Structure 1
Amino acid sequence: MQRTLVFVVFCLVYQAGFAKKIGEWTDHLSYNYASDVVNTADIVYCATSGGIIVFDKRYDQLSKLSTVNGLSDVNVAKLAWDKNNATLVVAYTNANIDLLKNGKVANKPQLKIKQITGDKTIYNVKIINNKAYLCTGIGLVILDHVNEEFGDTYILGENGSNLKVNDIELFDGFFYAATSTGLKKALANGVNLLDYNNWQTIADLPMEGSVNSVVKINNLLFALHVSTNGTSTIYSLQNNAWGIAGITGNHNYSHLFETNGKLASAIYGRVVTFNLENETRSEQWLSLPKDFELDGNTTWIADTYNGLLRFKDNKLDTLLPDGPGSNSAFKLYAENNTVYMAIGAYDQTWTQQYFGGSFYTYNDSWQSKKIEVAGDVVLLKPFPGNQEKLAAGCWNDGVVIYQSPQDQKLFGRDNLYEHTMTYLGENVPYIRVSGLQFDTRGNLWVYNVGVENPLNVYTKDGKWISMKTPGFPKNSRGEDMLIDQRGNKWCLIPRDEAGIYVFNEGADLTSTEDDQYNYFNVTATESEGIRTVHSIAEDKDGHIWVGTDDGVVVYYNTYDIFDSDPVGSSIIIPRKDGSDYADILFDSETILDIAIDGGNRKWFATGASGVFLMSPDGQKEIVHLTKQNSPLGSDQIYSLALNDQNGELFIGTNVGLFAYNYTGSQGNQNFNSAYVYPNPVREDYYGPIVVKGLMEKSVVKITDIAGNLVNEIMSSGAEAEWNGKNFDGRRPATGVYLMISVN
């Protein structure tokens, strides 16, 4: 039966629509982990692992800067503000540099990409005489941020060796460098600062330990010495001699800095300012500050776990953009317009990473949730028909059924009598879960890895059943699990006996008589060797796609999966050079996750090359997203999740979560919600024109008002994309056009 819809597109004036644009990016990064803050006349900038928190004091307005809207990188470590030139110097943990001025960003990656032996980490940035002095693990690197060019690099170690510089100050005609081996001094003018011999170690300070800070306050100079046992002492320069300042106090400080003319430090749980005249301290008890700025009766704080804080009138405000509380996007899952983000993780040796029991959900805004009874949540699945009730798989603690902060049920090692899962061994009391899937009957299947019988079922009525799994490699480590259209359970075994175990319980969960199973290594006819498996997905044709450490393997015929030793197929792509040669898709690439969109196209997450979107058969590359050509903060992709309501792809990387809006949502049952975006279309708009809300595999005919056919396109899932051109590749004249969709 065919269904037809007619609607009109006006190519006159562009009007902003309510939908996101195709190709639009959103960062879902955490801005909780702050490390530095600078206060300017109107704006406060706070450095975080996600980017920069921006607070406009004039309008009490919060915003953020990330790779999506201008920054070149993630993990901002240090900031420095040049008031005279209205420039913000942004230093990243990987030695990358951005310069923000006049609303524009200039990237200066030279230090990051330069091949240097040693530690290029930027530990501090000071603006001195219109230049940015970068204190690094190799020495002092000078950046002329006004002219946007690098200058000299001063290597201060003995015999010209690298020496970590923690801080720098210009005082009374001398440079003072706080280093990992002491305080060094050199004339600012008249000597060759490239010669390490001109940097003399000051003997008045202890030789053991390091000098972490050197700070100028009015006409005084202070240095912070930290001994090898962590004891800190503040020294001051008076009458050309260094001595203990007498304001050390009872705390061990890690660094000193200047704020609003005062000597200050941030330590565990408080910020401290020193009154130098009578050598007293003023302390404010706060969270976990890393840096702060005094601003009249306001204190701006960069907090280790809470982003930007404002302390004013004895009130503490958290100024934090909406986002998850962590950048560990280990496992993602999307369903019914909600994204679930598990942050618990394990490394390549299967060791848990101790991220606690937090997890996050997103549906237009982020919500933080906490499992109190377990830790390291590595995957989440909502119960069918109840998105508030979740099954959480924990790497060492078993399974938690979560309904609310007050309603959490753990099935773990302390209540083995209540469930059928088992732990690794008598001396290793860990219950590790790497796979959770609901079957069509509402039963939860649990992949309890590293044990003899790893498949368990938590039935719809709350009972546990352990499945006998003959032929399963004993005590093998596990990865993901899939339940296909026929109800077969595909269990990935990534190492040891690397392969796949497929299981079907038949009609009776409690009987083994109708069980079917098969274990096989993952190989492909086009290549040799057994592959290590990482990911698995079933497409709309029932084909099974397996991501390995050497590309992708496809099992096209799975009807006899229990009767044979299956051999998969690689995707062979002929070269377009006129030769008879061909290449294997993703040869030597590690595929960590696979997502199938509404048009049966395949998204692939790679371990080092970003994200690929391939045609349904894998022959054609449609999109390739990398750190170089997009706002992705990294090419190391852990997890993917597709919002099938709108085609938005959520991309979990090793530096955080990003979202990319593209076509490919699931096809609708009718045309009732179909619309065009943008509509109207302006004459100077050259982007894609997208028809959304279609039925799957709809044909869309574009005609002019007289009925002349302009072009014809096919939907991918619920969406069809038109490039705005006719069959001849030309843009049609401005006017009224019809789009007729037929399914």
Structure 2
Amino acid sequence: MRKIIFPVFLVLSQLVHSQIKVGKWRDHFSYNNCIAITKGDNKIYGATSTGIFWYSTQDGSLGKINRIQGLNDVSINTIEYSSQQKILAVGYEDGNIDFIFQNRILNMPQIKEKLMQGSKKINGFTFYNDLVFISTDFGIVVIDILKEEIKDTYYIGDLGEPLRVNRTSILNSSIYAATEKGLLHADVNDPLLIQYQRWTHESFFSNSTNECTDVTVFGSSVIAIEGNAIDQEDIIWGYNGSTWMELGRPYYTVLHVRAEQTKLLITSKEGISSYTSIIATPIVHSSYNFTWHFDPYMAIPIESEKIAIADNSSGIVYGEFGALNSYLPNGPINNRAFSIGVSSEKVIVASGAYDAAMGNRWFPFSYHKFEKEQWQTFEESIDLDAVRVAFNPSNPNEFYISSWGNGVFQYTNDEPVKHFDYQNSTLQTVYPNQPYCRVSGITFDSKGNLWAANVMVPKPISVRKPDGSWYSFAYAGAINSDQLSDLYCSPSGQLWLILPGGVGLFVLDPGKNIESATDDHYRKIKLYDSNGNVLPNDIYSLAFDREGYAWIGTSEGVLISYNPENAIDASTFAVQRVKIPDVVQGLAAYLLQTETITAIAVDGGNRKWFGTSKSGVFLQSSDGSKELLHFNTQNSPLPSNSIVDIKIHPTSGEVFIATDKGLMSYRGEATEPSEKFGKVYAFPNPVKPNYNGVITITGLVENTTVKITDISGNLVYETQSLGGQATWDGKNLNGHKVSTGVYLIFCSDSKGEETAVSKLLFIK
């Protein structure tokens, strides 16, 4: 198997990943796919769908701005910087707008919130004095940036109908609008521009109703792009002040045109053309010097002979042709995240997928690795769709990835070791001798056996023993479903397999001898409560908690089994809803009963993290009855409320949350407890005067009692750990911030048999 590591072309910068504080967020977005670019004040700004990043041409530093730093949305479509106003404008696909000033971000959601049919996408910004002309999918919106209010909306289609405007540009007193039905212009100072009759439709295009895809000012000229038919080249037009002339038809599809006084850049997939005047012969560039992959989306002139390119694969590309470099923050190469695996050493994200009909998405087999605060992406160009990750519990540097078509891959220290499919294991393929060896789930049991769910084959369950031998189970008839999802090993050694589409569960007890079917016990399960009432059987997720209980995520909330070891015994096995108090009506309700639960994770404090299909993430108490946190796009930096997977790093407590728009993480309070006290310490230490977060004490055993005293032995604070970690807000028992001094941290286990002591310097 060929391994490709995608490097990140970075300069030394302020963007060094480091562990975040408890209660804080960080993004793990890809910054490779740059879809817009602008310049201003010694910085080049690039945009991806999930955020903005910048490169300083002055000192070589990098920075980023996303929802953590204050952006109000995702799905960015365009950005533009005004050097005069010192404002970076951000336009989103849903019509939302952010204006980034030097010390604040102004959100103007009026277009997003406007009641109207059709798209509200923001396509471009043109700054003119104190006004901003905003190109949208329905017309032009004018904002008075000083008053921070919408001044006018221009519907410039026939008879005042909505008309998509791709971009506007202003030369002298004329405003030009590139629209889906050609090029329009008007007097920018006309007080009646709200009337569609004040706009003139230019007729010089080869077909006057062809789309004008872009327009820009080049010195004293105007450049417009006529979008032609699919099988014909686009046409570049130039206006010299009196006449429009055709400048050429170099590309089938011109993506963008940008210019300054002395340089015009026209970008297409085939190349970038550079003009010094509208009558000069262009210089065409069709490759980079630093990589084989040439994928420009937009290019802008910088100073001298330098340019900056928004590249779909390499972020910001900057420099002179022949000496270009790529600049972007560290991250995965894309935002695809189908499932997450974690060990004490690293995080692995499978970036393939399969669709609702169990068909391939045809993504190249790839995974993202987060280790030592850095991301790398590994891709195999031949195989397809990496979908599940399983770490060997006895070796944190050995992991397995299943694929939707090519079986299972084994890695040790990030090196591919073995590839298992129908040719060298008991895994089977849907079609003989064809790459349809689809493995929907993999997991390890406590004995080191690797289990695999093999879809649409006669023997749907396979196991690889620690000695490397394989064995399969011919239970396709008992399962009676071609659709299999993920599988899990219970604390009692049973294998639980989710059967999607409302079918339920299949539970297998392989007995003491895996290779003998005589001691196997299994059952296909439809879920009922203890009274025989049918419960939701459309299952999406499952987890076993620290007490061995099974938590089941369905299309109608959460179910729990307090005796999962009895799953195969229909007479004693029971599942029930989790009742929670309804504080509004005083009636009993059921845990997340209106939500589809797509992910469940149990932290070191036995608390439950639930991911949902449309409402973000919920953190519930250990018994599920109390909501502790609820994160969504309205109150957190999450890029989406559609959660795909959740996994928790065992030693840091960092909660990795995969959404359909990218990966985020939040550092929780709970970590996996140690069996004995390890290196007990507090951080930050010392606590400086300007610090307002919580102080974390880590290295603890489960249910540690933590007492904090001053140097004289006076009790200041007492708490109990969540798993292997406890937190303190720096206040005493009366709720006041403690004074400057050294504080002692006394830790003891639940029996009082094991103890540990640490010190903390607090500076008020």
| TM-score computed with the length of structure 1 as normaliser | 0.91
Alpha carbons of structure 1 residues 184 and 421: separation in structure 2 relative to 1, 3 Å: same
1:517 aligned to which of 518, 522, 528: 522
Which shows bigger deviation, 498-507 or 436-445? Answer: 436-445
Deviations for 1:185-240, whole angstroms, at most 9, x for unmatched residues? 22333452222222232222213431112222222222211123253112233564
Q: 1:130 Cα shift?
A: 3.4
Contact kept, 8 Å, 2:94 with 2:119, in 1: the verdict is no
Which residue of the partner structure matches residue 140 of structure 2? 140
Deviations for 1:343-370, whole angstroms, at most 9, x for unmatched residues? 1112333333222112111112112212
Deviations for 1:245-280, whole angstroms, at most 9, x for unmatched residues? 3x3336542332224532221111432112335431
Which residue of the partner structure matches residue 192 of structure 2? 192
Which residue of the partner structure matches residue 249 of structure 1? 250
Which shows bigger deviation, 234-243 or 327-336? Answer: 234-243
CA distance in 2, matches of 1:258, 1:164: 23
Contact kept, 8 Å, 1:266 with 1:292, in 2: the verdict is yes
Which residue of the partner structure matches residue 328 of structure 2? 320
- Is 1:715 the equivalent of 2:751? no
CA distance in 2, matches of 1:726, 1:259: 61
Q: 1:739 Cα shift?
A: 2.7
CA distance in 1, matches of 2:663, 2:390: 19
Alpha carbons of structure 1 residues 351 and 95: separation in structure 2 relative to 1, 3 Å: farther
Contact kept, 8 Å, 1:640 with 1:652, in 2: the verdict is yes
Alpha carbons of structure 1 residues 324 and 97: separation in structure 2 relative to 1, 3 Å: same
Q: How do 1:563-602 and structure 2 match up within 5 A?
A: 563-564=569-570, 566-576=573-583, 580-602=586-608
Which shows bigger deviation, 401-410 or 443-452? Answer: 401-410
Q: How do 1:644-683 and structure 2 match up within 5 A?
A: 644-681=650-687
- Is 1:224 the equivalent of 2:230? no
CA distance in 2, matches of 1:63, 1:691: 31
Contact kept, 8 Å, 2:409 with 2:416, in 1: the verdict is no
Deviations for 1:602-640, whole angstroms, at most 9, x for unmatched residues? 111111111111111111111212222222122211111
Deviations for 1:447-501, whole angstroms, at most 9, x for unmatched residues? 1123343111123233322113266332331221100111110000121x52010
CA distance in 1, matches of 2:241, 2:740: 81
2:704 aligned to which of 698, 708, 720: 698
Secondary structure at the counterpart of residue 68 of structure 1: coil
Which shows bigger deviation, 594-603 or 705-714? Answer: 705-714
CA distance in 1, matches of 2:282, 2:690: 63
CA distance in 2, matches of 1:692, 1:218: 62
CA distance in 2, matches of 1:723, 1:292: 49
Which residue of the partner structure matches residue 15 of structure 1? none
Which shows bigger deviation, 702-711 or 441-450? Answer: 702-711
Q: How do 1:255-654 and structure 2 match up within 5 A?
A: 255-276=256-277, 278-286=279-287, 287-295=294-302, 296-312=304-320, 314-363=322-371, 364-403=373-412, 407=416, 409-412=418-421, 416-424=422-430, 430-469=436-475, 472-495=478-501, 498-524=503-529, 528-564=534-570, 566-576=573-583, 580-654=586-660
CA distance in 2, matches of 1:277, 1:725: 69
Which shows bigger deviation, 540-549 or 468-477? Answer: 468-477
Contact kept, 8 Å, 2:556 with 2:595, in 1: the verdict is yes
Q: 1:597 Cα shift?
A: 0.8
Amino acid at match of 1:70: G
| Larger relative contact order, structure 1 or 2 (CA cutoff 8 Å, min sep 6) | 1
Which residue of the partner structure matches residue 106 of structure 1? 106
Contact kept, 8 Å, 1:452 with 1:475, in 2: the verdict is no
Secondary structure at the counterpart of residue 31 of structure 2: coil
CA distance in 1, matches of 2:455, 2:476: 15
Contact kept, 8 Å, 1:156 with 1:196, in 2: the verdict is yes
Secondary structure at the counterpart of residue 46 of structure 1: strand
Amino acid at match of 1:399: V
Amino acid at match of 1:69: Q
State the identity %: 32
CA RMSD of aligned residues (A): 2.5
Structure 2 residue ranges without an equivalent (≥5): 1-17, 288-293, 750-764
CA distance in 2, matches of 1:183, 1:40: 28
Which residue of the partner structure matches residue 8 of structure 2? none
Which residue of the partner structure matches residue 239 of structure 2? 237
Q: 1:601 Cα shift?
A: 0.8
Which residue of the partner structure matches residue 756 of structure 2? none
Alpha carbons of structure 1 residues 567 and 702: separation in structure 2 relative to 1, 3 Å: same
Which residue of the partner structure matches residue 171 of structure 2? 171
Q: 1:52 Cα shift?
A: 1.5
CA distance in 1, matches of 2:119, 2:570: 54
Contact kept, 8 Å, 1:376 with 1:395, in 2: the verdict is yes
Q: 1:700 Cα shift?
A: 1.5
Contact kept, 8 Å, 1:683 with 1:734, in 2: the verdict is no
CA distance in 2, matches of 1:360, 1:619: 35
- Equivalent pairs counted in the alignment come to 720
Structure 1 residue ranges without an equivalent (≥5): 1-17
Which residue of the partner structure matches residue 13 of structure 2? none
CA distance in 1, matches of 2:416, 2:434: 28
Secondary structure at the counterpart of residue 112 of structure 2: helix
Alpha carbons of structure 1 residues 196 and 695: separation in structure 2 relative to 1, 3 Å: same
CA distance in 2, matches of 1:401, 1:725: 49
CA distance in 2, matches of 1:607, 1:274: 50
Contact kept, 8 Å, 1:260 with 1:294, in 2: the verdict is no
Alpha carbons of structure 1 residues 435 and 250: separation in structure 2 relative to 1, 3 Å: closer
Q: 1:289 Cα shift?
A: 0.9
Q: 1:555 Cα shift?
A: 0.6
Q: 1:28 Cα shift?
A: 0.8
CA distance in 2, matches of 1:324, 1:629: 25
Secondary structure at the counterpart of residue 112 of structure 1: helix
Q: How do 1:157-168 and structure 2 match up within 5 A?
A: 157-168=157-168
CA distance in 1, matches of 2:669, 2:210: 58
Alpha carbons of structure 1 residues 338 and 593: separation in structure 2 relative to 1, 3 Å: same
CA distance in 2, matches of 1:378, 1:470: 22
Which shows bigger deviation, 377-386 or 357-366? Answer: 377-386
Alpha carbons of structure 1 residues 667 and 261: separation in structure 2 relative to 1, 3 Å: same
CA distance in 2, matches of 1:500, 1:72: 41
CA distance in 2, matches of 1:354, 1:669: 44
Alpha carbons of structure 1 residues 268 and 404: separation in structure 2 relative to 1, 3 Å: farther
CA distance in 2, matches of 1:427, 1:442: 30
CA distance in 2, matches of 1:683, 1:242: 66
Contact kept, 8 Å, 2:492 with 2:565, in 1: the verdict is no
Which shows bigger deviation, 516-525 or 615-624? Answer: 516-525
Which residue of the partner structure matches residue 5 of structure 1? none
